[in-house]
Amino acid sequence: MPTVTVFDYGFGNVRSAVRALEHVGADVTLTSDRATAENADGLVVPGVGAFAACMEGLRAARGDQIVGRRLAGGRPVLGICVGMQIMFERGVEHGEEAAGLHEWPGTIELLQAPVIPNMGWAQVTPPAETVLFKGVEDERFYFVHSYGAREFPLEHDDTGRLKRPLVTWSEAGDGANADRFVAAVENGPLCATQFHPEKSGEAGLQLLRNWVATL
Amino acid sequence: MGVAIRVIPCLDVDAGRVVKGVNFANLRDAGDPVELAARYGAEGADEVTFLDVTASSAGRATMLDVVRRTAEQVFVPLTVGGGVRSTDDVDILLRAGADKVGVNTAAIARPELISEIARRFGNQVLVLSVDARRCAGDTVTPSGYEVTTHGGRRGTGIDAVEWARQGAEWGAGEILLNSMDADGTTDGFDIQIIKEVRDVVSVPLIASGGAGRPEDFIAAAHAGADAVLAASVFHFGTLSIGQVKEAMRSAGIAVR
């Protein structure tokens, strides 16, 4: 049974993430202990609320170093919601800019949709090579957020030096008002979802099962 | 694309038991909120709402246990409302496993509570519950609707539409608009107030009160609701979550 640490740094409905991961067969520990978090087969970084506050909390628990070390060693990390957003270069909320972990270039900014927060079940468009969405490509997932990555600069990197991350998009708002944003990224050991797989019913559980199977 | 219209069953819970009656076959215990929430989750509910109608403190502790046990087995969002008076109350519910918390009377008594909760936990956790009633007697408000408390029995004289607008401005991430005139009638949602509130708020809007037939849900969605909430039609088996969604899908409304 793969071991998973859900990083407990004071942000996010961590209980749900723990239960959902247990449900799909992981041996889950909820902790901010550095050794446990570094050595688990998988690390989940949850997060809700404000980008800057989450980053502050993460740094206070040395989560930035833990994530960096794990990724340098090729050990899987899964960011959820604001736990995905902080993997980007920076976040801008209420005109204030905060630095993220900068695993990916790009900015987290306010969505341009008529109804904000973007709350509810939305479809996603995963690429053909997806591992996370295998078997649930056409399902809806539960989102609740006001900010997101509306661009993913690495997608346009055509130098051929990088294996490009797999990006899954979704949209807030309808028709002409639709605003495209990053719903998930699969990038070697680093995966992340803007939606909450632990709150996305059977589809979300399947996604977590797919991730746990890679550990 | 965008998000689907959410269909939300609401369970009134008193001292750990569902009240207002539930009439389901094949349930071990129709009064157990955890079992019912799981059942609704399996039927395709997009979210489950518990309304804690307990007055006693012992009942409140029981409610936390219900939330904990539900969060362990129901993997859709869970909203809990009733009796929330402080940011600490919110904290306790979120820690127990609630994803969102509904605030009603306490915000009328002390509107700062809305911004306090939003600042501490983010606006996405805060549902402002507005029990609205058409003005009667001497009460007059610009919209013709006033906010009530105590299950619609007491008027406040506050304009319901303006209150929803202000609540969203102060930090409520969602408005639960409950028509006290329509509540329990099964004659349909109060479409007029849904439209009026939709016009002034840009946060998600949940329509509640009056659902009876599948067409009622369609009308609420067309009036601008992002989610539709009902209790008795689901509890008594008059309509299933699936039937409501199928009807909406046939009407061209996106559902999960």
Convert the pLDDT of each residue in B105-137 to its tens digit. 999 999 999 999 998 888 999 999 999 999 988
Contact across the interface for A201 and B4, Cβ inside 8 Å: no
Give pLDDT, residue B31: 84
Distance CA B42, CA B44 (A): 5
Distance CA B32, CA B29 (A): 6
Q: Which residue of B has its CA nearest to A115?
A: B202
Chain A residues touching residue B93 (CB < 8 angstroms): none
Work out the minimum CA distance from A36 to partner chain B, whole angstroms: 22
Distance CA B125, CA B99 (A): 6
pLDDT digits (tens, 9 = 90+) for A60-113: 999 999 999 999 999 999 999 999 999 999 999 888 899 999 999 999 999 999
| Domains of chain B by residue range | 6-250
The interface predicted TM-score of the complex, written ipTM, equals 0.94
Tokens linked to A76 = 């899987």
Residue with tokens 């930090």: B171
Counting as low any pLDDT under 70, the low residues of chain A are 12
Give pLDDT, residue A158: 73
Give yes or no: B159 in active site. Answer: no
Percent of residues in chain B assigned helix, strand, coil, to nearest 5: 40, 25, 40
- The verdict on A143 touching B (C-beta cutoff 8 Å) is yes
8 A C-beta contact, residue B245 and residue B214: no
Distance CA B247, CA A145 (A): 28
Chain A residues touching residue B202 (CB < 8 angstroms): 114-116
Distance CA A184, CA A133 (A): 10
Model-level pTM?
A: 0.95
Smallest Cβ distance to A173: which of B2, B95, B122?
Answer: B2
Fold of B6-250: TIM Barrel (3.20.20)
Burial profile B41-59: b = 16 or more Cβ within 10 angstroms, e = fewer: beebbbbbbbbbbbeeeeb
Contact across the interface for B94 and A13, Cβ inside 8 Å: yes
Contact across the interface for B226 and A119, Cβ inside 8 Å: yes
| Domains of chain A by residue range | 3-213
Give pLDDT, residue B64: 93
Contact across the interface for A174 and B71, Cβ inside 8 Å: no
8 A C-beta contact, residue B46 and residue B76: yes
Counting as low any pLDDT under 50, the low residues of chain B are none
Chain B residues touching residue A202 (CB < 8 angstroms): 75
Pick the CATH number of A3-213 from 3.30.530.20, 3.40.50.880, 2.60.120.380, 3.30.450.70: 3.40.50.880
Give pLDDT, residue A175: 83
